[in-house]
Amino acid sequence: MKASDLTLLARAEVRGLASYNAGLSSDAVRKRFGLTRIAKLGSNENPLGPAPAVAVAMAKACADIALYPDASCQALRDALSHKLAVPGDHLVFGNGSEDLLSIISRVFLDHDDEVVTVVPSFGLHFIYPLATGAHVIGVPMTASGAFDVAAMIAAITPRTRLLMFSCPSNPVGCTLNGDELQQLLDALPAHCLLVFDEAYYEYAQYERGYPDCLSLIQACGKPFVLLRTFSKAYSLAGLRIGYGIVSDPALADLIDRLRTPFNVNRIAQAAAVAALADDAHLQATLEHVARERQRMVAELQVLGVDCVPSMANFLFFNTAFNAETVNQSLLRQGVILKPWREAGYTDYLRVSVGSREDNDLFLQALANALVEQQTRSA
Ligand SMILES: Cc1ncc(COP(=O)(O)O)c(C=O)c1O
């Protein structure tokens, strides 16, 4: 059977989907270009790695690997409930927060429903809703790289079932301020569930102007799921574990109906409990990222590249050239970034804030790549 015939076996919604751009692994780039040194700055990973207690907790959990994990994630539920001052039955867990995005789309969306999100966006905010047959309305960010709150509100219709976006925004790094978030919350109709993706919360929480989003959202009395993850600031991306805080246990119950019962593995649960307990390590991560992010912004300015101010562990910038072409040059130099593919942003790259050494490698490689492009276009 030809590949084109095989695609006919899939649902129409799936046939039309683009694959998620998960980027290249260090090994793939090493092999393809015969390199030894790679700076992997495409997936917003934490260069400090997890808290030391994580490895100990994982080794201990390995002793029980023959047993299914706790389907209710009780130990982690208790730890998070205490830390966040949220009742345990207001928490849901996923195999990464992306798992929860998928489950939420399948639970709450039907054919021809509408989802309002922003552009540029985290790819899965489009892919999972589209796969259900829903329509996704992407509201462009303003020219200066801010949320266009008025346009987001205007995009909500009687068919809108989800308002779903990340704050801080991936890929831009911008955030809503308290007034803007309140305006959105005030405008949210009863038929629309807010999915507030706060994957980069830890990085933003102490930044000036970042609102206490959870408190504001809780106070509004409207239905919500607020998503967070252990992949970013807690450095457990390889284990796949994220969670959601919901406005009502009835929402948790609905989400539970479509998750695979053992979606969070035993080792990830143990690691997350250990990671959560080490606040000093988290602080070290936040300080490193804030310091390096500031340095990178300044160094990029020297190269003539401006970034939108970011409260997350990445920067989004216009290369003034086709980003895929610049990206190929960076890959040849051993630097992995994320070239943006959404219309209107195909000159943009997103770089994660990595170790000082990796950031230096990136800055030098970008300088070379830009000179290459300028020479070509001269
Ligand atoms: C905005 C946003 N949401 C969700 C995720 C998914 O994170 P994970 O599935 O690793 O928890 C990511 C990962 O990059 C993200 O950037």
Of residues 21 and 280, the one with the higher pLDDT is 280
- Residue 242, pLDDT score: 98
Structural domain boundaries of the chain?
Answer: 7-49+280-377, 52-277
Q: How far is the C-alpha of 89 from the C-alpha of 104, rounded, in Å? A: 17
Query: How many other C-beta atoms lie within 10 A of the C-beta of residue 315?
Result: 23
**ω into 189 cis (within 30 of 0):** no
Express as a percent the part of the chain with pLDDT over 90.
Answer: 95
Which residues line ligand 1 at a C-beta cut-off of 6 Å?
44, 96-98, 122, 166, 170, 197, 199, 229, 231, 237, 242
Among 197, 243, 259, 338, say which to mutate for ligand 1: greatest number of ligand atoms within 8 Å of CB.
197
pLDDT at 68: 98
Among 46, 98, 169, the mutation site with the greatest number of ligand 1 atoms within 8 A of its Cβ is 98
pLDDT at 19: 83
Count the neighbouring beta carbons within 10 Å of the beta carbon of residue 343: 10
Rounded (5°) CA angle 117-118-120: 135
CATH number of the 7-49+280-377 domain:
3.90.1150.10
Strand order through the sheet with 135-140: 91-94, 242-246, 224-229, 193-197, 160-166, 114-119, 135-140
CA of 27 to the centre of ligand 1 (A): 22
Report the distance separating Cα 167 and Cα 182, nearest Å. Answer: 14
User: How confident is the model over 203-228, as pLDDT tens digits?
Assistant: 999 999 999 999 999 999 999 999 99
Q: How far is the CA of 199 from the centre of ligand 1 (A)?
A: 6
* pLDDT score, position 23: 84
CATH architecture of 52-277: 3-Layer(aba) Sandwich (3.40)
End-to-end CA distance of the chain: 49
From the CA of 247, how far away is ligand 1's center (Å)? 21
Model pLDDT, residue 276:
98
Q: What is the mean pLDDT of the chain?
A: 96
Q: Which of 92, 50, 46, 45 is nearest to 276 (CA)?
A: 50
Q: Lowest-confidence range among 146-150, 152-156, 341-345?
A: 341-345
pLDDT for residue 371 = 96
- Asked whether the predicted pLDDT for residue 4 surpasses 80, the reply is no
Q: Closest ligand 1 atom, CA of 97?
A: 11
Q: What is the pLDDT at residue 123?
A: 95
For 45, the token pair is: 């990973």
What pTM did the predictor assign? 0.96
pLDDT of residue 273: 98
What is the predicted pLDDT for the residue at 5? 85
52-277 shares the fold of 7-49+280-377: no
pLDDT of the residue at 28: 94
